[in-house]
Amino acid sequence: MSMQKPKGTRDLLGKELASIRHVTHVMSNAFKRYGYEEIETPTFEYLELFEKKSGEVVVKQLYSFKDKSGRALALRPELTVPAIRLYLTHLKSAPKPVKLCYFGDCFRYEEPQAQRWRQFIQSGVEVIGSPQLEADAEIVALADDIMQELGLSGYELRIGHIRLLREVLAHAGVRSDAQDSIMRAIDRHDEARLEAELSRMQVKAKDKELLRSLITLRGSTKVLKQAEKLVASLPKAKIALNNLHEILEHVRSFGVEKFTIDFGIARGLEYYTDFVFELYVDGVQVAGGGRYDELIELLGGDPCPAVGVGFGVDRIARTLLKRGMIVPRERLDCVVLPASEGMLSECLKIVGELRRAGLLVGVDLMRRRLSKAIAYANACGAKHSIIVGTKDLAAGKVTLREMHTGDQVQVPRQELVARLKSASKS
């Protein structure tokens, strides 16, 4: 029997797992602060749920299978679609907007490479039911806050608008149901494929030039003026630009000042309809989202606006480690050690009392001699060891040993909790 893990998966432990837990903790606190309710969806769903509008690339990467009753299922490749399915099942009558957040493993069968795995952790939020542009801006503000709280300086926030690109394609005569292949080429920055798709759709040279001019526009809000000139004769494209301009005003009102306008953002998931954005750290995309006002109707619900963002938890955690921003392991407050075998029962009582008081407490489960047990406590990284001896206990005391210095002091047993809590704050 092979002990090798499946290709594209990882065993998580030590600093890497601690970093992931740190990232999810920071995100969870931010989600709560912004008023999102946590949900959890099944690891697998019906296959057709993801075939609707997750995108050609994602569908090809699905881990799909049939259960023993012949039903076609798939491991979830992302979490927005399951969240919308949950909304339609349980929350569509809830007061709007419905604000949801989540964490979970996702699965895609793609070629493993740096910071890309077949099993990965995603988190995110969805705002369902609000057509207002301040909802779009809040999503950006949330993502920006999380990057700052994690201390990831130098991140890049890129903001674009898919509706603008689709209106340009529509003006060029490309039907909406034929635009996705072009959008995928833009998303992948694949110039050869883009040219092939535009030629296949018989897009005229002047329209090709307009599209290329737009998707290469990148910079401060000054590029909005350039974009306005490019689409001056396209009323619907101008509406999309005005939409983006208003969102950016709200983004600034939330206190987000550093961002880049990038009209080359097309997003890999095909359900996005309007405003979109992506976050990059050290050149690696760690988050992305936008508005998807048609997805809920596509999945069988009544027309309903929605906007959201997903985070690559693994990538963010790996970036923290790569930058040397090591998440410190939470040290044990103490390890309780019996000076003799006859003190074991009393030691276990003390351990229980200290743990119930909220302290982080270990105990030697190997019945080592005291000297080796002290060495074990030191190896555990404990701040203190508590040595329980017969004579000390008869006097109502125990020995408190500071592991870093080796200093020892006798402490009344009833004062032990207070002494340890005081020490943990210092």
CATH number of the domain enclosing 213: 3.30.930.10
Domain contains 6 = no
| Residue 80 shares a structural domain with residue 142 | yes
Residue 2 lies in a domain: no
The CATH number of residue 363's host domain is: 3.40.50.800
Among 272, 287, 322, where does a domain finish? Answer: 322
Whether the upstream peptide bond of residue 305 has omega within 30° of 0, thus cis, is: no
Residues 185 and 222 in one domain: yes
Q: How many independent structural domains does the chain possess?
A: 2
3-state class (DSSP) for residue 18 = helix
Note whether residue 77 is domain-resident: yes
Which tokens belong to 229? Answer: 């000139």
Give whole-number Cα distances, 303 to 114, 274, 298, 321, 400, in Å: 39, 15, 9, 43, 66
| pLDDT on residue 324 | 92
Residue-level pLDDT at 268: 62
d(CA 209, CA 218): 16
Q: Is 220 helix (H, G, I), strand (E, B) or coil?
A: coil
Determine the Cα–Cα distance for residues 380 and 388; give it in Å rounded to an integer.
19
Residue at a domain's end among 288, 322, 356: 322
Are residues 306 and 350 located together in one domain of the fold?
Answer: no
C-alpha 98/C-alpha 305 separation (Å) is 11
* Distance (Å, whole) CA 342 – CA 127: 60
Domain containing 31: what range? 14-322
Looking at the structure, tell me whether residues 318 and 338 fall in a common domain. Answer: no
- The confidence score (pLDDT) of residue 54 equals 59
Radius of gyration of the CA atoms of the chain, in A: 28
What is the H or E stretch that residue 126 is in?
A: strand 119-128
234 lies in the same domain as 311: yes
Domain contains 101: yes
Give the pLDDT score at 243. Answer: 96
Whether residue 10 contacts residue 299, with contact meaning beta carbons closer than 8 Å, is answered with no
pLDDT of 58? 73
Q: Is there a contact between 55 and 270 (Cβ–Cβ < 8 Å)?
A: yes
In a domain, 8, yes or no: no
Structure tokens at 36: 């999102």
In terms of Cα–Cα distance, which of 197, 194, 155 is closest to 178? 197
Nearest CA-CA partner of 173 in 209, 211, 202, 197: 202
Contact assessment for residue 335 and residue 376, using Cβ atoms and an 8 Å cutoff: yes
Question: 């349980």: which residue's tokens?
Answer: 90
DSSP class per residue in 31-47 = HHHTTPEE----SEEEH
What 8-state DSSP symbol labels residue 93? T
Statement to judge: residues 345 and 282 lie in one domain: no
Quote the CA–CA distance of 351 and 356 in Å, as a whole number.
9
Please give the pLDDT value at position 328.
Answer: 77
**Distance of CA 219 to CAs 223, 318, 383, 404, Å?**
6, 28, 51, 53
Residue 374 has a pLDDT of 96
pTM of the model as a whole: 0.89
What integer pLDDT is reported at residue 164 of this predicted model? Answer: 94
Are 194 and 45 in the same domain? yes
* pLDDT for res 163: 94
Note whether 314 and 383 are same-domain residues. Answer: no
Same domain flag for 172 and 261: yes
Mean pLDDT by groups of 10 residues along the chain of 426 residues: 86 93 97 98 95 70 94 95 96 97 95 81 98 98 97 95 93 86 86 89 89 92 92 93 96 96 82 94 94 92 96 96 86 95 94 96 94 95 95 95 95 94 80
4 domain residue, yes or no: no
Contacts 24+ apart (CB under 8 A), 202-211: 202/173, 203/169, 203/172, 203/173, 203/174, 204/172, 207/168, 207/171, 207/172, 207/173, 208/172, 210/168, 210/172, 211/165, 211/168, 211/169, 211/172
d(CA 330, CA 317): 17
Q: Are residues 46 and 194 in the same domain?
A: yes
| Domain end among 293, 322, 351 | 322
- Is-contact 385 409, C-beta < 8 A? no
Structural domain includes residue 38: yes
On whether both 294 and 349 belong to a single domain, the answer is no
Please indicate, yes or no, whether residues 287 and 254 belong to a single structural domain of this protein: yes
Predicted local distance difference test score (pLDDT) of residue 178? 84
CA atoms within 13 A on the CB side of 365: 3
CB atoms within 10 A of CB 46: 13
Q: Is 289 within the bounds of a domain?
A: yes
